[in-house]
Structure 1
């Protein structure tokens, strides 16, 4: 029973770390990267559809991304979704066949702003990990009558170690992303 609680907790915390790493990939560095557009939803025949399902993304130059729709009728909607993307500040143009996204050069102020965004995402992930820990601790406390206080105390120590490992993983990912963002 205790092992089940700890395994489930570890899995949930692993997922929280993966989500924050994916979030970090959507924050722009100096290069155009198809991962920036992972979460873009396009209104395709009335339903929000991920951009990757509607078009291929190519990166011919450092600050340019070409979006080639599989269905040419979706071109305008793809362009509209890219123009309305927050925190991008890109020039979006369409030549009737493809959408060309040109990202502006990042200024030092903009880089610092992105660092703040990334730090906020990291803090949200840490809070998520702590909430998972709290729920697991509640589950362990509920097991006290069945397994005994000593076993629960050992499990709580292991839970703290699992939590520390995952918070450290979030902090390491944050440090790498900050270095990447501030690199000129």
Structure 2
């Protein structure tokens, strides 16, 4: 196979992989009723005047399925951590016991579960758009290439479509697992 074609295919595959990684990262932020340290991944804390991710100033654990504990490395950070969690607007009510911050994750209502499932679907659709965009870019690159025979171009387009179908199926599978996780009480 022509090196140019292989490069275009590799670039498309990389873009599609990135769409999947982004989807998985976004879905990790959608809570499914079970406590997870990833839920606090977006929390930023004022650490001596600079905004710092929570996981760089404290240890985040889940002792059970309904509780998240945040153990700061410096006790003076307790109020800042509480403020950071509240400012992140995650719907949590942190409690400070003088040693650590404890967050009880409330069980999800049926309506909230449906909304989270819709949100997960929207994220999956965005990922599919990313995959299709990578397909379009790759097909345009193939069409622009002058030094490639028509047969090679046709075969490359078929390969790109096959790869696209594989990634769309992967996205559907990831979404199915996440929806099941969200809807399970």
Partner of 1:133: 135
The number of residues matched between the two structures is 182
Q: Does 1:180 align with 2:181?
A: yes
Q: For residues 167 and 47 of structure 1, do their structure 2 counterparts lie closer, same or farther at Cα, with a shift above 3 Å needed?
A: farther
Gaps of 5+ in 2: none
Normalised by the length of structure 1, the TM-score is 0.92
Contact 1:75 / 1:98 at 8 angstroms: preserved in 2? yes
CA distance in 2, matches of 1:131, 1:78: 40
Q: Distance in 1 between matches of 2:156 and 2:138?
A: 10
Of 67, 91, 94, which aligns to 2:93?
91
CA distance in 2 between counterparts of 1:65 and 1:33 reads 7
Separation in 2, partners of 1:43, 1:142: 50
Task: Quote the offset at 1:19 in angstroms.
Answer: 1.6
1:7-50 Cα distance to aligned partner (Å, 9 max, x none)? 12112211211221121111111211112122322232333322
Over 3 Å counting, the alpha-carbon distance change for 1:27 and 1:4 in structure 2 is: same
- Counterpart Cα distance in 2 of 1:34 and 1:146: 51
Query: In structure 1, what is the equivalent of residue 64 of structure 2?
Result: 61
Q: Is the CA contact (8 Å cut-off) linking 1:89 and 1:103 kept in structure 2?
A: no
Shift of 1:89: 2.0
2:23–2:123 contact (8 Å) kept in structure 1: yes
Q: Which among 47, 51, 60 is matched to residue 48 of structure 1? A: 51
Query: 1-side partners of 2:159 and 2:102: how far apart?
Result: 51
Check if 1:23 corresponds to 2:26.
yes
Encode CA deviations 1:103-159: one digit per residue, 9 max, x unaligned. 11111111111101111111111111111111111211121x111222111101100
Deviation at 1:170, TM superposition (A): 0.7
Confirm or deny: 8 A CA contact 2:9 2:160 kept in the other structure: yes
Cα distance in 1 for residues equivalent to 2:39 and 2:70: 12
Structure-2 separation of matches of 1:73 and 1:142: 60
Give the aligned CA root-mean-square deviation in angstroms: 1.4
Counterpart residue number, 2:111: 109
Query: In structure 2, what is the equivalent of residue 148 of structure 1?
Result: 149
In 1, Cα distance between equivalents of 2:53 and 2:135: 32
2:5 is aligned with 1:2: yes
Change (3 A) 1:49 1:150: same
**TM-score normalised by length of structure 2:** 0.92
For structure 1, list consecutive stretches of 5 or more residues without a partner in the other structure.
none
C-alpha distance in 1, partners of 2:177/2:77? Answer: 37
